[in-house]
A and B are shown apart, each in its own frame.
Chain A
Amino acid sequence: MRMPLFRGKKPKRWGLALTALVFLSLFLASCDQYTPSILNPQGPVASKESGLFWFILVVATIVFVAVEGMLIYSIIRFRERPNSPTPRQIHGNNTLEIAWTVAPSIFLFAVLIGTIYTMFSLAQPAGPNVEVKVVGHQWWWEFDYVHENFVTADELVVPQGTTIQLDLYSSNVIHSFWIPQLTGKTDVIPGHNNHMWFEADNVTTTPYRGECAEFCGDQHAHMDFSVTVLPKDAYQTWVSSQQQAAAAKPTDPTALAGQQVFLGAGGCQACHGIVGVNLTSFNDPKAQSQIGPNLTHFGSRHLIAGGVLTWDPSTCQVVNGKLVNQNSCGLYQWLHDPQGIKPFSDMVIGQLTDTQIAQLVAYLETLK
């Protein structure tokens, strides 16, 4: 490119270099441990899906460079100059037309074969699996471990290297269940019991991010969940503890007061169940009418209310019936003003006093 383009503007070299840098930087931009990148697959389903991406990228780049290149070449080569002749009035060329209809068809056919092959290779493998019934609510995820017979929310814990089978249900509107690093999404549609599976190759240090991926109303943005992958034996231990009922009464007096708030003044028990306290078991029919998540083992979870806040007992220490630092305690913020944190969620409660909240925090912490 010896001559400047576009009538005296600076050579495009600067522009091209800058553009390349921008795009490169975008790729390097921000990929850390929390980023739910589909290009960082952690299981066989996501691996196959991301493998297709790299294939597509190569094909698309070739086509892009070829066509865009021809365009840019034409722009440079055939721009009008003071003595350029009238161009030949070519109307077409049938051979060329056939060639460039057939060539992309072959390309596209190859892509289609890859697509259909991968689709069918993503069928759920036969063999033992962990089956979880997933229920999408507005705006949180419920997880019923079908064979293990317990219910939890917001966090999916799974064993490493095992097929996890998910049955997807919705309580009222359409949601979509997506764990970018483990699998593509499947919609959760009332009246349709969709089915998906995934497998996780590695034990997690940081849980994988899960998201709702279908617009489902006001707080669609706050309907996250997390996926923790444990070694198989650790998973069994976790399952056993989840299957236990909670203690009928906690020993700590503040926690006991908190349980009273739960059962009485706060009115929590109308919407939330704790097995051993206001539910006889996870199958208690009373649970059907409770619109909030089951709290039996809330103490060992890490997310509140679809991930809008995190629950970290170390920031919520209760000393002498008072929270040490209530403003850094996510659970305090939630119990203090749920509608302020997540407007229009179903958690509509009367104002709790700081003391009552401290007692509840102490109690919920015992529900490990």
Chain B
Amino acid sequence: MATRTVVEGVTLERRRRFSETYFGEWVMTTDHKKLGIMYIVTAFFFFLVGGMEALLVRTQLAVPDGKVLNAEQYNQVFTMHGTTMIFLFVMPILVGFGNYVVPLMIGARDMAFPRLNAFGYWIVLFGGFFLTSSFLFGQAPNAGWFSYAPLTELTSNCGPTAVRCTPDLNMDFWALGILMLGISSISGALNFVVTILKLRAPGMTINRMPLFTWMTLVTSFLLLFAIPSVTAAALLLLLDRHLGTHFYQAGAGGDPLLWQHLFWSFGHPEVYILILPAFGMISEILPVFSRKPLFGYTFVAWSGVAIGFLSFTVWAHHMFAVGLPPVAQAFFATSTTLIAIPTAVKIFNWVATVYGGKLSFKVPMLFALGFVAMFLIGGLNGVALAVVPFDYQVTDSYFVVSHLHYVLFGGTVFAVFAGIFYWFPKMTGKLLNERLGQIQFWLMLIGVNLTFFPMHILGLLGMPRRIYTYPGNLGWNELNLLATIGAFIIAVAILVFLWNFIITLRSGEPAGDDPWDAFTLEWDTSSPPKPYNFLVLPVVRSRRPFYDKKNPETADWKTATH
């Protein structure tokens, strides 16, 4: 060790490093908490972008023969709505919460690979800007978020006498964007798997991990196995478009269905990637606000695992109308019906958690209860879609739009807001305003149902998906208008939230370390936590280590059998 000679009377000033400036602290950070916040803020920005795209769609469809958007514009907007919401909002925000909360929940100092973590974030930011910049060129992706070939292979809208016959970039933006974002997802997933498997505090066995950690682990495995499918699909698409291969072109020996199989082999696990962390959040929040533990922890955890495995066996239920052999369709009908069982088990366990509790209706709880109510509807109309002959009628119709939005909005987005209201105090030391939160919740609940319930009926009345306009004599007008009104109610709710966010940051009520009297380790820190998270490594003796610490007489490790 070197010795320093200090000359009396002279002090040396150290220059402030860039990483110690306010800006540099964020730009150079590898701290999971900062990266978590960056993920969440970035994702929320793209939520607003995707929301604007949704409002444009709904405004165009509010009345028959709408003139707000023409066909080309509409096709770009609805494609980007789906792409933005899935890849730039839901996936990053769930990763963001995972990033922030999981290391704290398991008593770790940070993620296993902090620099890989930062890398993952910056790719999302740049990938998101790359994809969205396509609008500036007037060439946003325009073939749906699912980009079916061979439509996507037409490098231009080029018929023999077509007006426009210039090579377009739309689908190249999409494919390259997907490839970039996939890299981020894989890096994040790897990080979570290693962190969760190796960095848990002493005494926290797998069977004592919080449910949010469980679900993040399962989701990470899903990502690791599903993203390669879409990566391959997108790569082959780029090869077809630019290097003269024919993977998806029927005339030359390829097959358009290859795209669908590759895409949905990703696409189906993807929807579970979008919901499982949300399940995890709900499993954390309901117990705290019911003042009792999660009912059936083992069953809830292992249902999540079962859903993870089964999610790889159901993909062709997105393809019931493509002409698969009946036996294959029967197989996928069976697997899809099967996957409903662990999902139902979870819902029952959540209701049982609430039953017999002492319920406090703070905003996180409102959203969590709303989640259960809305996700149930989405689950039921999902089971309806598994009934193949019925699916022949309603697939590719607004019935499916209703289903996917009940599970993604009524489900995931509600869970995300539950998570925001729940963990915001931990992240910032301030409590979001209760009153505004309640107003937002009720507006969203009404808005979601008003927007998406009529879509069940529109599907039953024969309205197909992805049409930029519709004739006025088919009986679809009133329901479309209703749905648009609902969409604007949701928009108002989001504005209420933004207002809440701004005023809370400025002058919110101090939260303290543990505003909710919660059960898990992340609450046993200051708000916000110190950079090193825990001064002393916690020792865990049950599934509710913080509850145990606060209630030594009735601690779980004394009363429960695990």
Binding site for B on A (CB under 8 A): 6-7, 23, 26-27, 29-32, 34-39, 46, 48-50, 52-53, 56, 60, 63-64, 67-68, 70-71, 74-75, 78-80, 84-93, 96-97, 100-101, 104-105, 108-109, 111-112, 114-116, 118-120, 122-123, 138, 172-174, 176, 178, 180-181, 183-187, 189-192, 194-195, 209, 211-221, 271, 291, 339, 343-344, 346, 348
- B154–A31 touching, CB < 8 Å: no
Chain A residue at smallest Cβ distance from B461: A37
- A111–B478 touching, CB < 8 Å: no
- B383–A185 touching, CB < 8 Å: no
- B462–A29 touching, CB < 8 Å: no
With A63-B376, A68-B373 already in contact, 16 other A-B pairs whose C-beta atoms are closer than 8 Å? A35-B475, A37-B462, A52-B387, A56-B384, A79-B361, A84-B358, A89-B292, A91-B560, A174-B256, A185-B321, A185-B392, A194-B322, A214-B321, A215-B143, A271-B161, A291-B160
Bound-state Cα–Cα, A43 to B257, Å? 30
- B474–A36 touching, CB < 8 Å: yes
Which of these, B329, B464, B559, contacts A213 with CB under 8 Å? B464
- B460–A38 touching, CB < 8 Å: yes
- B479–A26 touching, CB < 8 Å: yes
Chain A residue at smallest Cβ distance from B333: A115
Report which residue of B338, B373, B460 has the largest number of chain A beta carbons within 10 angstroms of its beta carbon. B460
| A89-B292, A90-B293, A213-B464 known; A35-B344 Cβ under 8 A | no
Those 3 A-B pairs whose CB atoms lie nearest each other, nearest first = A184-B392, A191-B250, A30-B475
- B477 in contact (CB, < 8 A): yes
Closest Cβ–Cβ distance, residue B403 to chain A (whole Å): 12
Binding site for A on B (CB under 8 A): 70-72, 75, 143-144, 148, 150-151, 154, 157, 159-164, 249-251, 254-257, 290-299, 321-323, 326, 329-330, 333-334, 337-338, 340-341, 344-345, 347-349, 351-352, 354-361, 369, 372-373, 376-377, 380-381, 383-384, 386-397, 453-454, 457, 460-462, 464-470, 473-479, 482, 554, 556, 559-561
Q: Which B residues are CB-close (under 8 A) to A101?
A: 299, 341, 345
Which of these, A29, A92, A173, contacts B295 with CB under 8 Å? A92
Q: Which B residues are CB-close (under 8 A) to A120?
A: 326
- B453–A71 touching, CB < 8 Å: no
Bound-state Cα–Cα, A58 to B96, Å? 40
- B466–A220 touching, CB < 8 Å: yes
Q: Which B residues are CB-close (under 8 A) to A70?
A: 351, 355
Bound-state Cα–Cα, A191 to B453, Å? 37
Report which residue of A37, A180, A339 has the largest number of chain B beta carbons within 10 angstroms of its beta carbon. A180
- B396–A176 touching, CB < 8 Å: yes
Bound-state Cα–Cα, A118 to B477, Å? 33
Chain A residue at smallest Cβ distance from B160: A291
Q: Which A residues are CB-close (under 8 A) to B257?
A: 189, 192
- A96–B352 touching, CB < 8 Å: yes
Chain B residue at smallest Cβ distance from A342: B71
Q: Which B residues are CB-close (under 8 A) to A46?
A: 393
Q: Which A residues are CB-close (under 8 A) to B479?
A: 26, 29-30
Closest Cβ–Cβ distance, residue A93 to chain B (whole Å): 8
Chain A residue at smallest Cβ distance from B343: A104
Closest Cβ–Cβ distance, residue A64 to chain B (whole Å): 6
| A26-B454, A78-B354, A191-B251 known; A116-B333 Cβ under 8 A | yes
Chain A residue at smallest Cβ distance from B476: A30
Q: Which B residues are CB-close (under 8 A) to A214?
A: 148, 321, 396
| A112-B333, A119-B330, A189-B256 known; A87-B478 Cβ under 8 A | no
| A111-B387, A189-B322 known; A74-B464 Cβ under 8 A | no
- B460–A39 touching, CB < 8 Å: yes
- B356–A78 touching, CB < 8 Å: yes
Bound-state Cα–Cα, A358 to B457, Å? 43
Closest Cβ–Cβ distance, residue A10 to chain B (whole Å): 12
- B457–A29 touching, CB < 8 Å: yes
